[in-house]
Structures are given as C-alpha cells and as structure tokens.
Structure 1
C-alpha cells in the first residue's frame, strides 16, 4: 500500500526531522530520510510504499528496484528535487536517486485498476515510475510549478554566467569594460530574481538557485576592476603632468582617489583593503603636490630670469616667467579652482614681469642703437642698419606683450620707436647722400627742386604729439577738428608720399579726377601709408607693417568697450587686375590671426567679377579705386590726396 503525506507550511520550518517522525522507525536500511536531504532543503510531499518498487526505463530497457524485507520505498518531493530512497535495494544499503527539478522535462500519472503511479521524465531520456496512493493532483501541480520555476532560474543563471565570463575576460586589458559588464550582471541578477519570485515556490527556489553566489562574484569583479581603473587614472595623471596639462592631471588624481574609494566600499576580499587605502593616500598626496606646482614653477622661473645679467637672455627668460604666471592665473581662476594662488595678486605680479620685460628689451634696444651709431661712424652701413632691424624686433616683442597686458605702458615704447626710426633715417639718408656724391654733413639732399627731397627734419617726435602712423607703430588719432592737418603728417613717417602732396593739382580742377590721378601715381609704400592715414582720420588707431612681413599691411583698431580690429591688405596695381590668389592669401593670413574682427583689401587694381565674388564668399571686404574715391568724398578726406587744408 502506498501513501502520500503532504506537509503543511507550518510543518516544515526548515527541519526535516518531522518527516522522519511521520514515517516512523526503520523504514530505510541505513538511516532516516532526513540524512539524504540538504540542510536548507524542505520537503513538501512524501510518498512511501512497503512493497512497491521503482521502475526506470532507459533506451527502451526497463529496470525495477524493490526495497528489501522490512524496508520501504520512499519518495520525497522537496523545493529542490525529487529524492527516491529504496531501502536495502543496493547490496544491503539504500539506493538513493536524486532527480533535480532543473532536469525534469515532464510529469505525469499512470493510473490502473489496482495501482496508481507517479511518472517523471528527465532530460537524460530516463522515465521514473514511482508507487503512489491517494490524490496525486496536488503533487503533480507542485511538480509542474517547481519545474517551471527552476527552468526560469536556470535560464537566468545561464545568462548571468555568460555575462560574468565576459566581465572576467576584460579585467586585465580593459577594466572599465569589465566594470560595465559586472554592472550589467547586477541588473541581470535582479531581473532573474524577480522572474523566479513570480512563482509561488519562487522564494524557496531562490534559496538554492545560487543568485547570492553570483552577486558575490560580481562584487569581486567590480572591486578588482575599480582598483585597476584607479591605477589607470593615476597613470593618466602622470602623462598629463608630463605634458604640462596640470588641471587635467589634478582631475585624473581626483578620479583615481574616488575610484579607489568606490572599490574599498565594495564587500569583497581582493584586492585587500591595504592596497586600496595606499592608492587613495597616493592620489591625495599627488593632488596636494599639484595644487602648489604652478606657483612654484612661476616663482622659480622668475627668480631664474632675475639672476641673468645679460638683458637679451634675461628678456627671453622673463618671457618664460610671464608664460608661467599666465598659466598660474588661469589654473587658479574661479571659486572651484584646485590650485593655490590669489588671481589679483598674480595679476599684479604679471604686470611687474611685463615692466621687467620692457626694461630688458629697451636695454637691448639701447645697446643696439649705440652699436648702430658706432658701426655707421665706422662706415659699416649695412651692419648698422641690421642693428636697427634687431632693435625693431625687440621693440615689436615688447609691444606685443604691452599691447595685450599693459596698454598704459605703450607710451614708453613709442619713444623708443621714434629713436629707432630716427637712427635708421639718419643712416639711410647719409648713405643715399654718399651714393649721390654729396657730403652727408653739407645739408644737401642730392635732389633737384624743393619738393623732391626728403623732409627737412628727421625728428619724428613732432608727429607723435598729435597722433598718426609713425613707421609702423600705432599712435593715437588726433581730434579731427584740428585745423592744421599738415602738422600731423609733417615727417610723421609718411616719407615722400606727403612731400609729393605739396605739388597737388589746382583747386579749380576736378577734385575726383585729380585725386584718382594722384592715387595712381603713388608707389606701393605711399599707397600703404595713405590707406593707414585714411583710417586714422576715421577715428581708428593704425599700425603699418613692413612689406617684407608677407602678411597684412595695416592693422586698424577702434578703441571701445570691446576693441574692434581690422586687418587691411593694400594692393597698388593701377594698370593690372586683382587676382584670386591675393584673396586666398588674405583668407589664410586672417585665419592665422587670433584677434581679427574683419579683413579688408584696398586696391587700385581692376577687380574682375570672379575675384569680387570670391572675396564676398570669404567675408573679405573689398574697396576698389572707385570705392576708395567715394569714401574720400563722403568723409571729406579728398584733401589727404590733394594736399589741401579743409
């Protein structure tokens, strides 16, 4: 006779000894049923029979196991598996057959006239037939739900295992990918739990399904990946520092510290806490060191520059100190800046460095001008002019710094511009006088007629009192209401362009025609100077650049809340066409200038439509000869060409 014992929920609070009590003593040969069950395994049903055996079919072959005399066949259906125990059926011992639910493919009953049996098929192709009695429907329903719940758990476990394998594979070569894969595994574990928990038996299945072990594996991978990432951040910080990117280096050390702290917060054994704590400490020390590094570099570079006696070498090193101070103020700017330093104090130090650069450059200029005088006195004109050119270079470098950082210091440099131009003019004039066979000291110009020679005075300081363009240096524009315009141009660096204006056509002639004729008669240098003068009259500060620079000829600046800068190219070709390559060169030069708001080409050449279209497409303003004459008429500037008073 077979019997089914259903254990109610209150009867199996984790202890299977109650099952042994229900079955009674000596029903198996070697021990009670509980000895064949796991500690966390709970029994839901027990079927037992005194004489009924268990039949298994494999590949069409049947085999039956029967209990020995005085023993029973016991089938325990737990939350994990079906456990068949046949007392004394295995050479005096119990034959125990566990069938995990994850291997069960079908559950059925075999009912006959005098018997009723439970049939379980497995994925191995086995069919187990067990004796049963009573109502098998609750048993079959339980087995079906257990099979589905375990099938869900197994599918989730397979996906999690695959994800963990991917994460482990990335640990060495790509810790960030390993961390991401581990995080994805966390999501998969949570989804798997929810899927299993949807079954009535779900909570009991989760006790055995191994999801907790998967979570431990994930934590281990996450901790190892984060530790490797912290090390990678530290290496990135070192590379940034070596390249001079201190802000990026500081941020990388912060990332290293934060990542190591995340790893330390994860409950896993490897890497050990001591290793992670060491990473955190190193990152904090390196970050603290970087905070003061810009100040140390700027201070050390400035001290080194001040220790140099030679003014030229000192000027070069001061330029390095200025760059270091500008880096420092950039790194310390803002409330969240990690670097030590007060921006206002650094700004004051920058102005001090600018003053020292000006002092060093002007000391070099003074030395070069003295050398030019000696060389000229010794008849070495070419070397004397070379010294003047070198002085020009040093002045330009000083002007570049002053214009950007300390415009109020420009006046000092204007004086040096006059000195350089004066020295060069003396050398060039006397050299021309010698070439023409005249005595440089005789005062003779070597030209015929009073309107053909150079200006009587070579002292350009008179022109700088009221402003204008002096040999390529920006000067302030005078009030346009000044009655005597000639005074602003009297030998103010305009050269023979303004000597020629004294012989302008008669006032009664057609002013536009006369102006056009005079413009066409200018040479390249005169035309360049004339264009700069026009912009000066319109309220701009202008700078003329030497043609040998190969870039723009004039820079015009309008001083206002935000300065406007216009780059001007002059093309004096009254008998030719303006070619497209000139526009292309202007575009290239303009794009290479950091601070340029507009670009213009002023030309006396004929402008083909294709060139005009190209200029418009590249946003290059184009003023041809007629546009320029219109401008002179509209703004009342025709007298600049005709040499007349207003």
Structure 2
C-alpha cells in the first residue's frame, strides 16, 4: 500500500516537525523522517509505502532496497531535493538517499496492473524507481518545476563562475579596470539569475537554497583589490604627467586615484586591509595638495632666483623662465573650478613687473653689447663689432616680442634702444666704407706693451673688468681715490647670450676654444693672456719666467695708475698646488706699487686651493672662467693669434 501525502504548509505542517505529526508513527529504524531533513527545508509531498522498495538502475546494473519488517519506505519531496529513507535497509539501520533537484534530468511515471512507480533520472545516468500511488500528476508537476528552476540556477552559477574567473585573470594580468568591469558583470549575472528563477512558483524557495548572493562576497573581494590596484595605476600615471610638465592631467589622475581608493575603502572585504587603503588615500591627498601649490612654488622660486642674479645676461634668461612659469601658473589657476592655488589678478600684476624687469635686463645687455661694439671697432675688429650689434638686435627682438604681447605701453623703451643700436651700427659701417680697412695694433716680440685706442677713448665713467678685477676710472666723478677697490668682483661683464636654438653650436665652439688653448705651450699661453688684457685697454709687459717674480704686469693709465700682477700656470689635467698661491702672495707682497694680483690657470683647482687664493686676495681665473672671458669679450680670434 502506497500513500501520497500532500502538505499545503499553511498551518506549518510542511515544516519538519509537522511531518512527524502527520505520519503519526515511527516508521524508520534510526529516527523520525525529520531527522534526515534540514531545518530550512519545506516538504511538499511525502510518499509512504508500507512494503514497496526503491530500485536504482545504471550502467546495466540494477539494485533494489526494501524496508525490513516493521519499517516503511518514506520519500520526502522538499523544495531542495528528494530524500529517500528506507527503514532498516542498511544493516538494520535506515538507508537514506538524497537526490538534489540540481542533479535531476527527467521525471517519468510507470503504471502497471497492480502498482504505479515514479521514475527519477539523474545526470549521473541513474534511474530511480520509487513507489507511487493514486494520482502522481501533482508530484510530477512539482518535480518538473523544481527541476526546471534548479536547472536555471545551475546555468547561472556556471556563468557566474566563468565571469569570476575572467575578473581574476584580468586582475592577475595587471588590468584592474577590466577586472572591475568583469566583477560588475558578475553582479549583473546574479541579478539576472534571481529574476529568471523568481518566475517559478517555487522560485523564492529555490533561491533561498541556491544562495546566489553568496557570490557577492567573492565579487566584493575582487572589486576592492581591483580598485586599490587601479588607484596605484592612477598615481603612477600622475607621476608620468607631472614629470612631463602636464599638471592638469596629473591632477586629474590623482583625483581618479583618490576616488578609486575611496571606493575600495567603502567595499566590505578583507583585502587589502583598511589601514593600507587609508594610507593610500592620505598619500594621494598629500600629493594633490603639493601639486595644487606647485605652479605657485615654481613661479615664485624662479622669480626669486632671477632677482638674486646680478649679471644682466643671466638675469634676463632667468627672468624669461620666471615669466614663462608665471604665465603657466596664471593659466592653471584661471577659472572658477581651477584647483591650483593662486589669485589671477595678483599674478597678472606680477607678470607686468617681470616684463619690466626683463626689458631692463635686456637693455642692460644691449648697453654692454653696444659698448663692446664700440671697443671692438676701435681696435680694428669690425666684424666682431658688427656681430655685437647683431646680438643687440636679437636682444631687442626678444624684448619687443614680450612687450608687444604683454605690455604694449612699454614699447617706447624698446624703440629708444632700437634707435641707439641702429646708430651704433651706422657709425661702424660708415667708418668701414670710408676707410676701407681696419686698424692695426703694434706688438713687441720681447717686451710687449701698448695701449689701445679704446683705452684712450673710454668715457670717464667707464669700468674695465678683466678676470674678475673691476677698475673704475679713478678720475671719474663717481669715485675718489680713497673709494677705489681694484679687486671688486661684483660686476662681471657678460655680453653674449646664445639663443636656445644655437646652444649646441655654442657648446661646440666653446669646446674648440678649449682644445686650442690647451694645445698652447706655456710661453704662447702667457702671450695669449697678455693679449686678452691688452685688448681690453691695458698696457701689458711680459716677463721671462727665469727672471721675474710674476709673468705679466698690466697697467691701466689714469691720473692714478692701476697695476695688476698676473701669474700664468698652464698645466691642463693637473691640480693646482697651494704652493703656487703661496708664491703669488709672497711675490705680490714683495712688489712695490701692486694694486691687485691675478692667477690665470688651465689646471684643475681644488676647492681648498681656491679658498686659499680668496683668503689672500689673489683673483683666480680658472679654465672655465677663462673660456667665459674669451667668449663674453669676443676674444676668440686671439686664441689663433697666440699660435
């Protein structure tokens, strides 16, 4: 006899406790049917067979399990599975066989003359034949719906697993954004699965057992790791942009890093730890604050450095850099949403101040260039004089470009210097067309002395600077004999400034000069140094090394003559010894009427030796400074003349 009990569940009879009450007797050997069911399972049907057993067929074999005397066969059909309990069929104990709906592939029935059977096929290739009675259609319909619902669960679970694996692969391959997108897709699959399974009448109970939401923990872990990695990638991108000077993209990348780290922190997962993510956030906030202040700091530092430079040529170059930095700063802090620190109106005012300073620096260099052009022409070096005028023109063009764009009201200043430059060029070209030849300078082969016309024709207010020694004319109204400082090094003359596009060729030219100077022998080097001083308006006398304390005497003729003692040490590649400085000090102190002393050397100068010279007021002109003098004062042709 087989009884089919349908449990509606409205009165709680479908609970595990309600099942035992409905059965009313102990039909199993080891305990009630409820002991084989989970607390959360809800029972829809129970098949109760007094004598009927269960047969399983598969792989050509068949086996039947029957209850022992006094026991029964019970089949509980829940919302999760079939649970077959055969009393006493397993060595006196109950044989319990669970068949999850997720493994069921087909449900059939079989009717015979005396009995009906319920046939359950599984994906393992087994067919279970269960006792049945009465109308099995309700059971079949319920089982088919459960099987279909669980089939959907399995299908979506496979998709979820595949998508999780894809997300993990993307993360392992260093593609955190793709990993995050794949993890988001997992959530979409979970939502679709819940919606699809929910269309079944039993869908909610199936979903409760399937627990698709349990995948969300794995998704959260992937999302948190991907976002933390993405934040690091954004920081690296910001570093690259900043190194390239692209501050806006760098700032945007840091904001992206901050957002990604904040999102990672908001996700409930264990890795990376909260402390590590918090550290990322704090680091990004510091970088943002630093970057937002960087344009202001760069601009103010550039201006401060420019203002600290006395040489007008170098100051002009630095002021141009400061002007560019301030214009960049203005562009970055402009607009209501600009994140960079700075007040546009204040920056505009400072830009105009820099323009004034830059024009002033350019005109100072132009003034020096025109004076050099006059001197060079007076010394018969017309080609170099015209080249100095060309450089003055370049300076004027640079000044005019800045003024025209940023401060048109400063145009009259530039025009005045354009008139002065054109006038100087016209005078030189007129003399050349009139005379048809350049002046010549007489030189003595043994004791060289002389004064150039430039030295005689200098203005009473003019300074002469050679090797860092500045000699203001003692006859000038601006200085008296008591105020004369013949060793003042505060005002080095620099009259050239290679444009950016010609710096490579200038470097090549400098290297050529260096090579030629190093190739000189000691005697020719001394003659070359004397020629440099003489070219700049001094009388020079060369002494033989074997008979003199010093190598050159340079005299500047005025009401009060200025005498400079010069030693030359031509030893390229060797270190200058301190004893050489000591000898210069001794010989200078033993020489009457010596106003200043200079040591010109091609040797390498150790810092202690340089300091020793400074302490004893010996003006030291090293190899680089000698090259600066040659280039600045346009004495390159003297390098060849000394051969």
Q: TM-score, normalised by structure 2?
A: 0.66
Q: In the alignment, which residue of structure 1 is the partner of 2:133?
A: 133
Give the structure 2 partner of residue 361 of structure 1. Answer: 362
1:296 maps to 297
User: Does residue 73 of structure 1 match 2:73?
Assistant: yes
Report what 1:19 is aligned to: 19
The answer to which of 410-419 and 238-247 deviates more is 238-247
- CA offset at residue 95 of structure 1? 1.2
Question: How many Å apart are 1:100 and its aligned residue?
Answer: 1.3
Q: Within 5 A, what are the aligned runs for 1:332-371? A: 332-371=333-372
Alignment of structure 1 residues 225-374 onto 2, 5 Å: 225-374=226-375
Contact 2:108 2:120 in 1 (8 A): yes
3-state SS of the aligned residue for 1:288? Answer: helix
| 1:143-164 CA distance string (max 9 Å, x none) | 0111111111111111111111
3-state DSSP of counterpart to 1:398: helix
Residue equivalent to 2:532: none
**Correspondence list, 1:23-42, <5 A:** 23-42=23-42
Match of residue 171 from structure 2: 171
Whole-angstrom distance in 1 between the partners of 2:398 and 2:335: 30
Alpha carbons 1:156, 1:188 under 8 Å: kept: yes
Q: Over aligned residues, Cα RMSD in angstroms?
A: 1.8
Match of 1:107, SS state, is: strand
Change (3 A) 1:437 1:151: closer
**2: distance between equivalents of 1:273 and 1:56?**
55
Deviations 1:551-592 (A, max 9, x none): xxxxxxxxxxxxxxxxxxxxxxxxxxxxxxxxxxxxxxxxxx
Corresponding residue SS for 1:289 = helix
**Are residues 268 and 14 of structure 1, via their aligned partners in 2, closer, same or farther at CA, if it must alter by over 3 Å?**
farther
Question: Which structure 2 segments of 5+ residues have no match?
Answer: 440-501, 503-643
1:3-152 correspondence to structure 2 within 5 Å = 3-12=3-12, 15-152=15-152
**Take 1:238 and 1:202, find their aligned partners in 2: how far apart are those partners?**
52
Q: Deviation at 1:269?
A: 2.4
Query: For the Cα contact (< 8 Å) 1:107–1:140, is it kept in 2?
Result: yes
What residue in structure 2 maps to residue 429 of structure 1?
Answer: 430
**Aligned partner of residue 10 in structure 1, secondary structure:** coil
Quote the Cα distance in structure 2 between the aligned partners of 1:271 and 1:432. 84
Instruction: State the partner residue of 1:159.
Output: 159
Give the aligned partner of residue 515 of structure 1: none
Say which SS state the counterpart of residue 9 (structure 1) adopts: coil
Shift in Å at residue 343 of structure 1? 0.5
Please report how far the alpha carbon of residue 89 of structure 1 lies from its aligned counterpart in structure 2 after TM superposition: 0.9
Q: C-alpha deviations, 1:426-467, integer Å up to 9, x for none? A: 1011101112899xxxxxxxxxxxxxxxxxxxxxxxxxxxxx
For the residues of structure 1 that align with 2:409 and 2:345, how far apart are their CA atoms?
Answer: 18
- What's the offset of the Cα at 1:14? 7.6
CA–CA distance in structure 1, aligned partners of residues 124 and 247 of structure 2:
65
Contact 2:13-2:22 within 8 A present in 1 as well: no
Shift of 1:396: 1.2
Is residue 386 from structure 1 mapped to residue 390 from structure 2 by the alignment? no
Question: Per-residue deviation at 1:336?
Answer: 0.3
What is the distance in 2 between the residues matched to 1:418 and 1:208?
A: 96
What CA deviation, in whole Å up to 9, does each residue of 1:132-175 have, x standing for no partner?
A: 22221110110011111111111111111111110011113111
Contact 2:14 2:44 survives alignment (8 Å): no
Tell me the residue number matched to 1:456: none
Superposition deviation, residue 109 in structure 1: 1.2
Please give the alpha-carbon distance, in whole angstroms, between the structure 2 residues aligned to 1:384 and 1:227.
Answer: 66
> Within 5 Å, which residues of 2 pair with 1:455-470?
none
CA contact (8 A) 1:8 1:44 kept: yes
Within 5 A, what are the aligned runs for 1:536-555?
A: none
Q: What CA distance in whole angstroms lies between the structure 2 residues aligned with 1:437 and 1:368? A: 20
CA-to-aligned-CA distance 1:310-365 (integer Å, 9 cap, x gap): 10001001111011101110110000000111101101100111111100010000
Output the CA distance in 2 between the equivalents of 1:5 and 1:15: 14
Tell whether 2:191 aligns with 1:190: yes
Instruction: Check conservation: 1:182, 1:222, Cα contact below 8 A.
Output: yes
The one-character-per-residue Cα deviations of 1:275-330 (angstroms, maximum 9, x if unpaired) are 22222222222211222111111111100011111100010011110111011101
Matched length: 439
Partners of 2:145 and 2:401 in 1: CA distance: 85
**Alpha-carbon offset, residue 59 of structure 1:** 2.2
In 2, the alpha carbon distance for the partners of 1:417 and 1:127 equals 108
- Sort the Cα spacing of 1:150 and 1:287 in 2 relative to 1 into closer, same or farther, 3 A: same
Q: 1:436 & 1:253 partners in 2: Cα distance?
A: 68
Cα distance change of structure 1 residues 14 and 424 upon mapping to structure 2, 3 Å threshold: farther
**With CA pairs under 8 Å and 6+ residues apart, which has the higher RCO, 1 or 2?**
2
Task: Find the residue that maps to 1:171 and give its secondary structure.
Answer: helix
CA distance in 2, matches of 1:148, 1:52: 28
CA distance in structure 1 between the aligned counterparts of 2:290 and 2:36, rounded to whole angstroms: 65
> What is residue 604 of structure 2 aligned with on the other side?
none
TM-score normalized with structure 1 length? 0.66
**Deviation digits for residues 42-97 of structure 1 (CA, Å, limit 9, x no counterpart):** 11111111211101111232211001222111101111111111111111221111
Q: How does 1:541-620 map to 2 (within 5 A)?
A: none
Q: C-alpha separation between the residues in 2 aligned to 1:295 and 1:187?
A: 47
> How far apart in 1 are the matches of 2:184 and 2:428?
80
Decide whether the 8 Å contact of 1:12 with 1:42 is kept in 2.
Answer: no
Q: CA deviation at 1:391?
A: 0.9
**Residues of 2 paired with 1:238 and 1:437: CA distance?**
60
